[in-house]
């Protein structure tokens, strides 16, 4: 895949990210998360820190109803118990019926059959966004057997064509997380180069980003900002906060705490000053 990069778009994305951050904090989007047992608390705290309102509703006969009133929905397949699998399908149906934007995070798919089948069943319902590492995106596109558990064994650039293919097939924004995040709608591509290696040393670093994307998509509903920009804005705010947290952390433990504080403190001006973004067309 080739694209023509336009670094001047840094200003545009940073401005939109700042706008959405302010909108989110003024009217916290109710962010419905069906996520894995390992990261539930951390994800909720990340959403609270950035300014959103988390709700971890993963019970059958409640999930669909709640998705209909939520501002945004995350479906994360990290620990897909039978109850969660049924609740996820119910929530997606509720979100689709009500127009609630939703994010699919196909955690560790490829070699593991239950979650892989569920991811393929869910993606046909056309998620607003799909977020995963390179190996997960390749596996969802049917081009790889997946990575090593939750860890990617492929590069972001190696998954670029798969991301574009998924975006075209399902009308979704596809975000490939890595040292440089790649976000595409199948025609346009954004690369966000902010972030820090310590995000990979904290359980839930990537999973929580999916929830932040759902929150930003929810906030964008009251603006004229499109889904591609909303998803990329979430990545930008989150990774700028990660850099600020890493600057004062002494290791993974303190980083997890500092990340929450950085998300609560980061401003539109901070995002504009730190943004490292490139944009192009395919």
Q: What is the dihedral of CA 119, 121, 123, 127, to 10 degrees?
A: -100
Query: Would you state the pLDDT for residue 281?
Result: 77
Residue 262: inside a domain, yes or no? yes
| Domain contains 169 | yes
CB 182 within 8 A of CB 156: yes
- Residue 4 belongs to some domain of the structure: no
Q: Residue 10: its pLDDT value, please?
A: 58
Structural domain contains residue 59: yes
CATH code (residue 166): 3.40.1190.20
Structure tokens belonging to residue 202: 């904290």
Q: What is the pLDDT of residue 147?
A: 53
Tell me the CB-side half-sphere exposure of residue 10, using CA atoms within 13 A.
14
pLDDT reported for residue 203: 94
Whole-structure pTM value: 0.94
Q: E strands of the chain, at which residues?
A: 30-34, 53-55, 72-76, 102-105, 129-133, 173-177, 181-184, 188-192, 277-281
pLDDT in tens, the chain (282 residues): 444 445 545 558 999 999 999 999 999 999 999 999 999 999 999 999 999 999 999 999 999 999 999 999 999 999 999 999 999 999 999 999 999 999 999 999 998 999 999 999 999 999 999 999 999 999 999 987 555 555 556 689 999 999 999 999 999 999 999 999 999 999 999 999 999 999 999 999 999 999 999 999 999 999 999 999 999 999 999 999 999 999 999 999 999 999 999 999 999 999 999 999 998 877
Check if the beta carbon of residue 268 is closer than 8 Å to that of residue 241: no
CA angle 214, 124, 135 (to 5 degrees): 70
* Chain centroid offset of residue 14 CA: 17
In angstroms, rounded to a whole number, what is the distance separating the alpha carbons of residues 276 and 50?
20
Question: Could you tell me if residue 3 is inside a domain?
Answer: no
Instruction: Output the pLDDT for position 6.
Output: 52
Q: Would 231 be classed as within a structural domain?
A: yes
The domain total for the chain is 1
Q: Which domain holds residue 228?
A: 9-281
Q: Is residue 159 part of a domain?
A: yes
Taking the C-alpha atoms of residue 116 and residue 140, their distance in angstroms, rounded to an integer, is 8
Q: Is residue 93 part of a domain?
A: yes
């Amino acid at each position: 895949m080739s694209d023509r990069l336009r670094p001047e778009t840094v200003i545009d994305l940073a401005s939109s990210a700042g706008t959405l951050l302010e909108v989110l904090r003024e009217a916290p989007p109710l962010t419905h998360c069906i996520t894995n047992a390992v990261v539930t608390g951390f994800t909720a705290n990340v959403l609270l820190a950035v300014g959103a309102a988390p709700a971890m509703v993963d019970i059958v006969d409640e999930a669909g109803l709640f998705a209909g009133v939520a501002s945004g929905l995350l479906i994360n397949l990290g620990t897909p118990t039978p109850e969660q699998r049924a609740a996820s399908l119910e929530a997606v149906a509720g979100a689709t019926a009500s127009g609630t934007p939703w994010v699919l995070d196909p955690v560790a798919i490829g070699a593991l059959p239950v979650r892989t089948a569920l991811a393929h069943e869910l993606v046909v319902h056309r998620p607003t966004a799909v977020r995963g590492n390179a190996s997960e995106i390749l596996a969802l596109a049917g081009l790889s057997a997946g990575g090593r558990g939750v860890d990617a064994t492929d590069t972001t650039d190696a998954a670029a064509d798969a991301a574009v293919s998924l975006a075209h097939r399902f009308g979704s924004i596809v975000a490939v997380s890595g040292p440089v995040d790649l976000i595409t709608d199948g025609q346009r591509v954004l690369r966000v180069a902010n972030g820090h290696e310590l995000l990979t040393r904290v359980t839930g670093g990537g999973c929580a980003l999916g929830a932040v994307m759902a929150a930003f998509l929810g906030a964008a509903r009251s603006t004229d900002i499109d889904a591609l920009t909303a998803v990329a804005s979430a990545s930008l705010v989150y990774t700028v906060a990660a850099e600020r947290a890493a600057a004062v952390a002494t290791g993974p433990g303190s980083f997890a705490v500092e990340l929450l504080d950085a998300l609560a403190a980061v401003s539109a001006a901070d995002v504009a000053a730190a943004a490292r973004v490139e944009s192009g067309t395919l």
